[in-house]
Amino acid sequence: MMGMVRHSHQDAVSESEFDQLVKATDELEKPYDAECLFILVAAGRLGLRAGEIVHLREGWVDWNTKQIHIPRFDPCDHGNNGSVCGYCRSQAQLAVENGTYETLEEALNNCWEPKCENSARIVPFDFDLFVESVIEKFFADRDRYPHSRASVNRRVDRVLEAAGFPSECCYPHSLRATAASWHAYRGLPAPALQSLFGWSNIQSAQKYIRLSGGPTAKALKETHSD
């Protein structure tokens, strides 16, 4: 009998667990602590994908409007000596294999691209003072996330270890699901949730809102309030 497919929303961490992960970054050495905290917030509050975090540079940030503009295309220079990074090379190879591009050279020339057309989006970060401060402090002394795609997983694992959580507790994409659940519970409407996360259909947003229990909790409080 085949096992059921597990979805990332099932591995979203609770608000208290997320707070514990954030506090655990205080125990890490510099600059590891800032990098780990940035990943937690970028994925777990802003809903960025790991590939977006890795390619995020300050040029994407509009400091006047406090928004991150994830582009439809941004030439990857995150590899050695400004070359295409290993993550983009592996994605380019897959793109050739599935017929998206005819040659590896063509695929590499189109790196970096977000997951899908809707993934090119605007992500505000001034809705929460803590989130805003983490983004500002991270870019105070660097102009990009300076490490590989695999480093994102390693840093999440390191925070889990520091917090005393099992390694299977969460991973980068479940942190993105954590962000979706967090916003959904607080009442972010489905169209705004879809836009923030770059989903291709609104059903994904509606699912998170339904599963969050937020609308039910709000309705119960309104119904039974004196």
Domain chopping of the chain, boundaries? 12-72+114-218, 73-113
Q: Examine the pLDDT at 120 and tell me if it is beyond 90.
A: yes
Query: What mean pLDDT do residues 101-108 have?
Result: 95
Report the pLDDT value the prediction gives residue 8, as an integer from 0 to 100.
Answer: 77
pLDDT tens across 139-168, in order?
999 999 999 999 999 999 999 999 999 988
Average pLDDT, the chain: 94
pLDDT of residue 218: 87
Fold category of 12-72+114-218 in CATH: hpI Integrase; Chain A (1.10.443)
Global pTM value: 0.92
SS3 86: helix
For 147-190, give the DSSP string: S-HHHHHHHHHHHHHHHT--TTS--HHHHHHHHHHHHHHTT--H
Q: List residues bridging with 68 in a β-sheet.
A: 61, 123
Place 44 in a pLDDT band, splitting at 50, 70 and 90. Answer: very high
Could you give the CA distance from residue 85 to residue 81 in angstroms, rounded to a whole number? 10
Residue 96's contacts (CB-CB under 8 Å, 6 or more residues apart) are: 102, 103, 104, 107
pLDDT, tens digit, 9 for 90 and up, residues 180-201: 999 999 999 999 999 999 999 9
Closest to 53 measured CA to CA, from 70, 30, 32: 70
Residue that is written with structure tokens 């949730």 in the block: 193
Buried/exposed code over 51-79 (b: 16+ C-beta within 10 A; e: otherwise) = bbbbbbeeebbeeeebbbebeeebebbbe
pLDDT at 88 over 70: yes
Radius of gyration, alpha carbons of the chain? 18
pLDDT of residue 1 exceeding 80: no
- Main-chain phi, psi angles of 164, to 5 degrees: 80, 20
